[in-house]
Amino acid sequence: MVFRDERGRLYHIGAGEGDVASRVLMPGSRVRVKKIAEMLSDARVVHDGRFLLVTGEYEGVPVSAVDTGIGPSSAAIVVREVLEALDLSAGDAVLIRPGTCGSLQPWVHVGDLVVSTGVVA
Work out the pLDDT band at 119, boundaries 50, 70, 90: low
Q: Say yes or no to pLDDT of 121 above 70.
A: no
CB 66, CB 10: distance < 8 Å = no
SS3 116: coil
pTM over 0.75: yes
Q: How far is CA 75 from CA 42, 81, 90, in A?
A: 26, 10, 25
Residues 6+ apart with CB under 8 A from 88: 22
Instruction: Identify the pLDDT of residue 46.
Output: 98
pLDDT, tens digit, 9 for 90 and up, residues 14-50: 999 999 999 999 999 999 999 999 999 999 999 999 9
Q: What is the pLDDT of residue 43?
A: 98
pLDDT tens string 83-118: 999 977 778 899 999 988 888 899 999 999 988 887
**Do residues 36 and 65 lie in contact, with contact meaning Cβ atoms separated by under 8 Å?**
yes
Q: Exposure of 10 by Cβ count < 10 A (0-12 exposed, 13-18 middle, 19+ buried)?
A: buried
> Which domains, ranges and CATH numbers included, belong to the chain?
1-121 (3.40.50.1580)
- Three-state secondary structure call for residue 76: helix
CA atoms within 13 A on the CB side of 57: 5
